[in-house]
A and B are shown apart, each in its own frame.
Chain A
Amino acid sequence: MDLVTDSVTNALVFLADNLFGQVPLLIGLITLAGLLLQRKPVEDVVGGALRAAVGVVILFIGVEVFTGGLEGFQAVLADAVGAAPPAADRSLGDFLGSHGGTIALVLTLAFLAHVVLVRLFTAARYLYLTGHLMFWISTIVVAALVTAAPGAGRPTLVLCGAGVVAAYWTLQPVWMRPLMLRVMPEDRFGFAHTSSLICLLTGWAGRAFGRLEARSTEQLVLPRRLSFFKDVNVSTALVVSVLLLGAVAAAGPDTAADRAAEMDPGLSPWVWALLVGLRFAGGIAILLFGVRMFLAEIVPAFKGLSDRVIPGTRPALDAPTVFPAAPAAVMLGFVAATAVFLLLLGLFAAAGWFTLIPPMIMLFFVGGSAAVFGNAVAGWPGAVLGGALTGVVLAVGQALTWGLLAGTAPELATLADPDWYAIAWLIAGMRPLIGGAAIWAIPVVALVTTVAVLLALGRRERRTAGERTPATESEQG
């Protein structure tokens, strides 16, 4: 019998080391399973699985380049203002290397649990389909769980993580529903984006400005010269390079010159600043390219699966799907968010508190979404408010959360949307309770809350339907 136990153990260890620890292979296999389940032709199955695996490899390379650019940026900017660069024990690259398999399993299991929840409760209504955020939310949840319970094993992390993530995907489009109905009254799809909390805050605070009347952003004419800014590759390269050039001007002459010489002997610090800005933007572009490559295979597979299991469910989609409702608000929100963020960057640096990194992608998508909802509630003042709140939350969130994740993947703090910060801090807030088995409290609380909310909503909807009044927009999510 010992022989059997030994060989089973050996097989499990082999699988853990060589499959669940090797993310490209694991994602490739998950994609393969998804495509086979949909009975795709063999060329699609082979091509899709390999593209997904290559995508993950590219993602890892992008993370390395991005982290390198980030480090140079922080070092020189911190020196320029006489502060210490943010400390970190580990990096996102290490974290994805050691926990990538766990993240892939959380993503898959959470999606299945989410499908079950939507199938069981009519009030859940929306299926979460924003693929890249499905990946990143799984990542931040695993990072927060590892921070809260460093000793937890992979099965515990996978099950706890999947519970929290499934609860979030199920509830987030539901709590955004009342605001969504103001922007997209047809209710054909939900809003699935991790900017949701800042959108809710904007919608709530925007009411202070009074009724919309004739103040919609869509009556404004915005200067066309701003348009190149909405290409996030361009705005990232530009903003980070300009900040670095300023930092080189302010920093001690040796720091920048040393850094430049490290890259290439004889390189001017000014050219170095420009190259690091470009490299930083390049790293993010590579990272996103990798994510795009594996998502292009996984998302249609997920959609195919859910269409079969729960036909007729409304999808919840990425933030840009609401942008056509108010394109001018999007630009206004982005500009306001960036202005406020850069202002805080200067203030935090002057105070020696933290060296912020301008997250142009998040400033665009979160600032843009918050502004669309702000505009729907209060016109252009609401849009500006949404952008400004985004700038504040992203700046403060980044500064606070970097330290929280210093032992896992601090760079996640610079790639984060508002909901990531909330989730990370909620899980870390359970830390005093965490010790061994207490980590299970997190998914249990999340799932019980989800079911309770869905039951209550379902009951109210049936009652409203019984009174023969159509669902009103004022109902709370």
Chain B
Amino acid sequence: MDRTLEVLTVCGVGMGSSLMLKVTAEDALRALDLPARVEATDVSSARGMRADVVIGQELHTAELGDLAPIVVTITDFLDVDGLASALHERLAAHGLLP
């Protein structure tokens, strides 16, 4: 992929756990050496946004299924390695890895 990856992290109101998830996602994407822009937002706003990847917990991703080509569901907000390997696998499957 020749452009910056657009990533959304979502939670209920978009400033507590999604912000922490944003920090985790940025670390994971850095570990994969992928240029990306990560934004934290709430589920309502997310519906009006475009992204390549949406990351959130199942409570929310269950309803955001068709928002982005890749939706990653997490249970651990601090697991950088787990998120990195999930992202790597899904991005590769969608041909979004360089």
A residues with a Cβ closer than 8 A to B are 129-133, 188-189, 227, 230-234, 285, 288-289, 291-292, 295-296, 299-300, 303, 315, 317-321, 323-324, 327, 330, 361, 364-365
Contacts and interface: CB of A to CB of B under 8 A. Distances in A.
Contacts of B12: 230-232, 320, 361, 364-365
Contacts, number: 91
The 8 closest A-B pairs by CB, nearest first: A318-B16, A324-B75, A320-B17, A292-B15, A233-B44, A318-B17, A321-B77, A132-B15
A131 B44 contact: no
Contacts of A323: 57, 59
Contact of B62 (A133, A227, A303, A321): A227
A288 B42 contact: yes
Interface residues of B, number: 29
B54 interface: no
B31 interface: no
B17 A292 contact: no
29 contacts: A132-B15, A188-B76, A188-B78, A189-B78, A230-B60, A231-B12, A232-B12, A232-B13, A233-B42, A288-B14, A292-B15, A296-B39, A315-B78, A317-B17, A317-B77, A318-B16, A318-B20, A319-B16, A319-B17, A320-B16, A320-B57, A321-B17, A321-B20, A324-B57, A324-B75, A324-B76, A327-B57, A361-B13, A365-B12
Given A189-B78, A320-B16, A292 B44 contact: no
Interface in B27-42: 39-42
A327 B40 contact: no
Contacts of B40: 292, 296
A291 B23 contact: no
A131 B15 contact: yes
Contact of B59 (A317, A327, A361): A327
Interface in B65-88: 74-78
A321 B40 CA distance: 15
Contact of B58 (A129, A288, A318, A327): A327
Contacts of A289: 45
Contacts of B91: none
